Structure formats: structure tokens, C-alpha cells
Structure 1
Amino acid sequence: MKIIISVSHQVIDLRRSFEDFTTALEGLLVHFDPASLDLTATDPQRAEQQLAALGSYENLTLFGVQNHGELFRLLGAPKKAKQYAIGNPLVALQMTQHDLRAALYAPLRVLVYEAENQQARVEYDLPSSLFGQFQNAAVTEVAQGLDAKLLHLVHHADTSA
């Protein structure tokens, strides 16, 4: 079975340079370490407190960074481009408990790169449109909250001192 979906895509031109923005972004997000979350516990409140104690902005964590720009060394010169996997395992659980297919998009992918005009840019698919395809009100509601969290994160990383 093939399903065609419509996805809303966000493109944000940044005030900061690629280096300054990515440094700020990475400084706002704590790297997620599964050992930091006691998955053997059966108390969701305790797990939420453990994640909140990490002190990551908007309670989003960094699952990984891929320096995609380094691949361009194969063509002669690297570019400035990083792909971030950003999310919160408890937020993912809020969605996947209603529809396991939501795991396909958790954590979220965010691309930061320097465009040809030397302007730093962020691009990502809006979580509400990715998760909205499952037509589950509980999943969509959580995803709409992620739309706002990602936008706040990008804005803060672009404007913070």
C-alpha cells in the first residue's frame, strides 16, 4: 500500500552565522544518554523529572549530529551543513502510545546549513504535518506542541547572547 501525504516544510533564514548558530543550538540541548533515563522504573512522573533535570531547552534533547557538510570533501571542498536529531523520548511515547507509526518521525530531523549567499539557514518538516498523517487527535495535539518548541528553539539559538 502506498499513501501520499502533504508535508509542511519550514525554512528559516538566520541572523547568526552557521558557526555561531550551531554552537548556540548545541549549547541549548543536552545530549540524550539512555542511561540518564531509568527505563526500568514504572513511574512516568519520575522519568519526566529525570529528563527535566537535564536542563535542556524546551525539554528537547540532542540524539545526534551528522556533519553532512564533511561529505563534500569527497568532491573537493567541505560545506557547512549539519543534520540534528532532536526530540524527547517521553514526548515520543505520548504519541506512540496512541499510534506506534509515530516512531517513524521521532526524533525529529533539523538541517542547518550555509546557503550559497553565505546566509545560514534552518530547515525542517513541521511535526504537526508529519504526525498529522496518522489522523489521531492525541498524536496531532502533541505534534503541534513540537511545532512551537522547535520554533522557540531556533529563535532562541539565533538571538541569544
Structure 2
Amino acid sequence: MQVTHISTIVKPGFTDFTNAFEKLAGRITKSDVTNIVTDPEGTRRHIETLQGYQDLIIFDIQDHGSLFNLIGEKRFAKQYLIGNPLIAFSMTRHDIRAALYAPLRVLVYTDGQNRTTIEYDKPSDLFGQFGIPQITEVGLGLDQKVEKLVEKAVEDSVSVKQQ
């Protein structure tokens, strides 16, 4: 399997970009899906209300930058687990192994020159490895969704800075 790794340096600073990114994407917690067994349709409707830009939802944010405090350094790095349970199920219903890559991981960090960098593996490569057209098609759609979310977060963080 060959995976295309996307790495993009953006103009906005780390805080401006991550604030915009987090504002655009929806958020979900475990409590949002606790009724899925007793009320699957109600849970589906609730998940739909949580969807953010491009129907994407943040599941979790890991502050990897804070780990650098262990060696006395200040660094900025956040790893986002991002996706959508409904989109994930549209793949895992065809092959449960697609759950290995859902939700997706997006890393935002500053490098040694204080530039903000966004990195992730191309979803269509991750999901395309299964050779199932329905899953590959969703992966291709996720390529576009993640790309558009990053672009919109850049745009929004630049416009906020200019105000």
C-alpha cells in the first residue's frame, strides 16, 4: 500500500489557524452516541446536528506540543481526530477494516522557523487499499472534505487577522 502524505505550510499562525479549524468543524463526545442502541434514528439525527463544515466532526484533540515541556521546550502541536460517524459507517458497513483509519488524523504544528504546518495522510489512499469501490469513493470524497476544511480555516484565520 502506498499512502500520499499531505504536508502544507500555511501563512496564519498556529493559534489563529487552530481556532478557525476548531470553530469550523463540529464536535462530538461519547455522550452524543450513548442512545445509539435504544434510539438509533434519534442518534443519527443528533449526529447530523453536530456536523461542521464539510460535514466533518472533531472527535478529540491531543495537545502534543505540551509534551515538549518534559524537556523544557515550548512547542505548538495539536493532533485532531476528525471524521463523521455516519461517513465512517458508510464504509465500515462494506468492510469493518475501514475502521482502522476512521476517524482520520490531522496534525497541526509549528516548525523550527515558527511556520504553521498541517499534515495528514490522504484518505483515499488509506481507504482505497481495501479495493472496494464503495469505500474508495467515500475516501475520495474525504480527500476533498479535508482539503476544503483546511483551505477554509486558512481563509477564515487570515480574514479574522485582517479585521
Displacement over 6 Å in runs of 4+:
none
**What's the secondary structure of 1:135's corresponding residue?**
coil
Cα distance, 1:78–1:141 mapped onto 2, change above 3 Å: same
Q: Secondary structure, in 3 states, of the residue corresponding to 1:16? A: coil
Pick from 31, 52, 56 the counterpart of residue 56 of structure 1: 52
Q: Does 1:29 align with 2:25?
A: yes
> Equivalences for 1:126-141 in 2 at 5 Å?
126-141=122-137
**Aligned pairs, how many?**
155
Matched, 1:39 2:5: no
Do 2:110 and 2:117's aligned partners in 1 also have CA atoms closer than 8 Å? yes
Give the conservation status (yes or no) of the 8 Å contact 2:5–2:122: yes
Which residue is 2:81 aligned to?
85
Contact 1:67 1:82 in 2 (8 A): yes
Q: Contact 2:51–2:57 at 8 Å: present in 1 too?
A: no
- The equivalences for 1:1-161 within 5 A come to 5-37=1-33, 38-40=35-37, 41-43=39-41, 47-160=43-156, 161=159
State whether residues 51 and 84 of structure 2, in contact with CA within 8 Å, keep that contact through their aligned partners in structure 1.
no
Q: List alignment gaps of at least 5 residues for structure 2.
A: none
1:23-77: CA deviation from partner (whole Å, max 9, x where unpaired): 111111222124334413344xx55443232251111111100110111111111
In structure 2, distance between residues paired with 1:94 and 1:23 = 29
Instruction: Name which of structure 1's ranges 22-31 and 149-158 shifts more when overlaid on structure 2.
Output: 22-31
Distance 1:55 1:133, change over 3 A: closer
Per-residue CA deviation, residues 94-126 of structure 1 (Å, 9 max, x unaligned), is 000111100000000000001112110100000
Between the aligned residues of both structures, percent identity stands at 43
